[in-house]
Each structure stands twice: as C-alpha cells, then as structure tokens.
C-alpha cells in the first residue's frame, strides 16, 4: 500500500493507494468533513492530548470565557545561567526590568503564568516550523519541541493508514510547500523539522514532494495529451504555484517519468494572513484602535492590537497592570465602549472565538455578496457588515503578492500566459471570488479547472508514492 500525507496549515489529509485506486481516509470523525483533520492540537493541564476538531471544541468549552489571573513567578535562577543551560526555553521567560547599571546578578528569570489555565491550543503549527528561534514551548511544566507537537497531529494520519493497511505503514510521501519561507535557511529548517515530526509519528522513510506538483499529478496522471499546466494551490499558510508539462506518454508510470517541472514559486501568504487582515481592518476599530485617551488625547499603544490578531498570545496581555491601565484609559477615552470591549476580550480570553467568526465570515463571502461579522459576548457587541468588494480591497496587497508568484513561476518556466493549457486551482483560499477573478483576468475562465479543494494534494501524493 502506498501512502500520501498532506500536513496542512489548517487541514491535514491522508490518502492511500493500492496502485490502482486512491482512497482518502477518514481521519477525524468529529469534523463536518471526516476526511479532513483540522491541524489543531490541545494539550490539557493533566497531559491529555486532543487533535482535530475536538481540540477546538474542548478549548472553547474549557478555556474561553474564563477570567484569567496572570501571576508573575520568580523562577529562582539567574537569566544568564538559565539561558546558557537551556537556550531553547528562554523565549518563554522574561527577565525582570532592571536598569543597565544594576549588578548582573539582579537579573532574575521570571515568568508570567496563568496558574488556572486548563489547556493550550496549538494552531497553524506548520507555519511555526520555519521560525528558527521558535524551538518549542512550555506547557504545564513540560517542554515540547515543535517537532513533537507536529508529530502529535501526524500520528492520527499514521494510525489511519496503519488501520487500513492492517500493518504498520513505514513509508510515506509527504507534501511540502514550494516555499515554507522566502528565506532559504528557514525553508531548510522547516523541512528538516517536518521530517523529524513524521519520524516521531512513526513513519520510517519519508519522501518530500511539492504540494502543487502533487495536485498536478492528481489531474494529469490520466491525461492522454501532453499539456502545459499551471497549479495554483492557496491554503491556510502558503500560496504555491507550479508550471509543469505533463501527460501524453503511455501509461501513468511513463507519464510521471516524462513530466517536467518548468517553474515553481510560492509565498507564505494565504488564508491565515487574510483572516488577520480582516481583523485589522474591521475589528481593530471596534476595540478602540482609533480611540484617544488622557489629557493629551493619545492613541492606545499599537501592541495591544497586534496581539488581538495573534489570539494565541492574547493571554499575555492579561496582567493586573494592563487591566488597570485599560480601566483608567476607558475613563478618559473618547470611545469608552470600544476600550471596554478590548478589556473584555483580554479578560475573557476571547481571541479564538473572534478569529473563528472572522474566518467563517470570510468563507460566507465566497458565496454571498455581503455578510455580518457578529461577535456578541458581554461587553463585546460587534456587528460589522463586510461586503465582498470591501473584502477584495482589504486583501488587494496580498493578491498582488500571489500574482507576483504566478508571474515568477511563468518567468522561470519561460512561459507566456497564453501558452498554459489549463490552470488547476486547489486549496481553500482559491474559493475566494477575488482570487478567482485575478486568475480569470489572466487566463480566462475556460482555462480554470477547480480541482478537489481539500484533498487533491493528498490524492496526488498517494499516486506518487507508488513510483518513488
Ligand atoms: N469557502 C471558503 N472561502 C474562502 N476561504 C476558505 C473557504 N474554505 C476554506 N477557506 C480557507 O482555506 C484555508 C484552508 O485551506 P486548505 O485546507 O487548503 O489549507 P491547508 O492545506 O491546510 O494549508 P497550506 O496548504 O497552506 O499548508 C483556511 O484559511 C480557510 O479559512
Ligand atoms: Mg494545502
């Protein structure tokens, strides 16, 4: 049996093939679409680990809407010796503030902790694979390397493959984006980490294959005529493009052997970044980004808002100092309700539901011309209308970067748009009308072929697995 694993930023899927037929496996019974495993991990205080849709449900049930009290604890060690001994962990600790002339011994390691936190949710782990300085994180006294966290999600794919094979599946073809990062070194770090994660999950031999090329194989393995194809795969974390020549030879093996990659390109700009951009444009003002406070009518500090878009770190703002400061600024604010909403957001750790609602609104705009972003929770009373045209405007600069990738792939392939036979689209973000319009304008709708949005990459990887 041959196995292909698509570890996605948002969704993961696994496909197996017996050499003739490809089957997408059901890996998350709790999800609306059981063939997709949301790439989410929840680690509870007692060490329990939950992956997929259930991870999000449990996080919301146990963690959201909880009054958080952050405590500063002295770790009882000097920051220098600590950092020297275990550099990986230093990111989670901050030294106490001291002035530069103070004796160095005074620098003690302190951590802000949330002593009642029931559990932590990890999202978009694939995007953190590339961050050289992010090695992992501390959760409830245990250190987890990012590879281990990733492996916890991949293990579900492994178990599903083992179950259908009736024995351990040792070899798998894993997808990888064309560019995990625009920085070559970061890109190499990410691939290395994903390999280690796959091995921790139990796959002994791991072969990597470009995700958009896999989507191309899925389409072209049956093509009797040789064609010049472009694949545009835009998911949660990356926009990947490839130009290929495929098909025409006799039989799948020969077709694959004679296929040619003419050009690839990619940028780490996709669904996650789009969600953050909507939050920035539509919700920052609802939380007071344009408000002024105090006698000099100053704006609120920007870092408060950047953390709203980064909900996983929102809890860090929940210090007594910040909350008291927000109470004081609300009193002198020209928009007290907005500042109160911000305090409620931070106090109730409500960032994840906000991010979820924004993502849902974005998805609704793929079929509707307008929608309301509705967030109602205690002092947060937001009802923001978002129209499709305004949404397209908000993400215009991102579409430009995607288009630049497409142009780059064409350029390396020395191909003009009119020489492309078909443009295959896949990945959830390709469902956005503005993305389709961008492709339409360049290639014309007759040449756009929408492939299976969430599973064409895994299918292609399982096909390829037979031949590598
Ligand atoms: N109907 C829709 N309209 C707009 N966006 C959508 C829609 N459905 C899903 N998305 C977005 O698509 C993204 C997920 O797509 P997909 O599952 O293809 O990504 P992925 O494979 O996990 O990520 P990547 O390939 O970048 O690692 C998310 O950002 C999601 O919000
Ligand atoms: Mg993908």
Q: CA end-to-end span of the chain, whole Å?
A: 13
Q: How far is the CA of 429 from the centre of ligand 1 (A)?
A: 5
User: Phi-psi bin for 64: left (phi > 0), alpha (psi -120 to 50), beta?
Assistant: beta
The predicted-structure confidence for 10-29, as pLDDT tens digits, reads as follows 999 999 999 999 999 999 99
Measured at the alpha carbon of residue 192, what is the angle toward residues 429 and 311, in degrees to the nearest 5?
Answer: 45
Give, for ligand 1, the residue of 126, 209, 428 to mutate: max count of ligand atoms closer than 8 Å to Cβ: 428
Q: How far is the CA of 131 from the centre of ligand 1 (A)?
A: 21
What does the DSSP assignment read for 171-186?
EEEEEE-S-S-SSHHH
Sign of the CA dihedral with 80 first, then 81, 84, and 89 last: negative
Give, for ligand 1, the residue of 366, 429, 458, 459 to mutate: max count of ligand atoms closer than 8 Å to Cβ: 429
The predicted-structure confidence for 132-167, as pLDDT tens digits, reads as follows 998 998 888 899 999 999 999 999 999 999 999 999
pTM over 0.85: yes
With 0-12 CB in 10 A as exposed, 13-18 as middle and 19+ as buried, what is 295? exposed
The gap from C-alpha 322 to its chain's centroid, in whole angstroms, comes to 29
User: Residue 238 is inside which H or E element, if any?
Assistant: none
Residue 108 and residue 95 in contact, taking contact as beta carbons nearer than 8 Å: yes
Q: Which domains are delineated in the chain?
A: 71-113 (no CATH), 227-270+396-450 (3.30.420.40), 272-388 (no CATH)
Q: Is the pLDDT of residue 80 over 70?
A: no
Q: Is the pLDDT of residue 169 over 80?
A: yes
Q: By alpha-carbon position, which residue is closest to atom 4 of ligand 1?
A: 363
Which pLDDT band holds residue 206 (cuts at 50, 70, 90)?
A: very high
């Amino acid at each position: 049996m041959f196995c292909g694993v698509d570890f996605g930023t948002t969704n993961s899927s696994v496909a197996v093939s017996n050499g003739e037929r490809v089957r997408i496996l059901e890996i998350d019974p709790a999800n609306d679409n059981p063939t997709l495993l949301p790439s989410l991990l929840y680690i509870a205080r007692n060490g329990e680990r939950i992956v997929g849709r259930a991870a999000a449900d449990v996080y919301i049930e146990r963690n959201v809407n909880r009054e958080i009290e952050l405590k500063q604890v002295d770790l009882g060690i000097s920051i220098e010796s600590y950092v020297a001994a275990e550099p990986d962990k230093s990111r989670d600790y901050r030294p106490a503030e001291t002035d530069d002339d103070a004796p160095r011994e005074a620098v003690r390691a302190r951590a802000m902790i949330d002593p009642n936190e029931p559990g932590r949710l990890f999202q978009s782990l694939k995007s953190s694979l590339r961050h050289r300085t992010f090695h992992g994180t501390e959760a409830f006294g245990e250190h987890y390397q990012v590879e281990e966290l990733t492996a916890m999600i991949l293990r579900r794919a492994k178990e599903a493959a083992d179950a259908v094979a009736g024995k351990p599946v040792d070899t798998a073809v894993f997808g990888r984006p064309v560019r995990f990062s625009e920085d070559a070194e970061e890109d190499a770090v990410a691939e290395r980490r994903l390999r280690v994660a796959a091995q921790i999950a139990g796959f002994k031999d791991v072969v990597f294959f470009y995700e958009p090329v896999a989507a191309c194989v899925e389409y072209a393995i049956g093509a009797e005529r040789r064609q010049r194809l472009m694949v545009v795969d835009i998911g949660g974390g990356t926009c990947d493009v490839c130009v290929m020549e495929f098909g025409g030879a006799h039989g799948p093996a020969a077709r694959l052997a004679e296929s040619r990659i003419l050009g690839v390109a990619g940028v780490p700009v996709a669904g996650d970044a789009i969600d953050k951009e909507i939050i920035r444009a539509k919700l920052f003002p609802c939380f007071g980004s344009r408000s002024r406070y105090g006698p000099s009518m100053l704006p609120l500090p920007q870092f408060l808002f950047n953390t709203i878009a980064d909900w996983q770190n929102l809890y860090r703002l929940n210090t007594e100092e910040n909350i008291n400061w927000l109470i004081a600024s609300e009193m002198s604010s020209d928009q007290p309700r907005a500042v109160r909403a911000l305090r409620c957001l931070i106090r109730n750790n409500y960032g994840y539901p906000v991010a979820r609602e924004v993502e849902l609104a974005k998805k609704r705009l793929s079929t509707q011309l307008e929608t309301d972003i509705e967030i109602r929770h205690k002092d947060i009373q937001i009802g923001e209308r978002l129209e499709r045209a305004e949404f397209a405007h908000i993400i215009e600069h991102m579409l430009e970067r995607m288009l630049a990738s497409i142009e780059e792939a064409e350029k390396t392939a020395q191909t003009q748009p009119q020489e492309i036979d078909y443009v295959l689209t896949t990945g959830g973000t390709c469902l956005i009308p503005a993305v389709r319009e961008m492709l339409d304008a360049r290639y014309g709708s007759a040449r756009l072929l929408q492939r299976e949005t969430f599973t064409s990459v895994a299918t292609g990887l399982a096909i390829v697995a037979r031949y590598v």
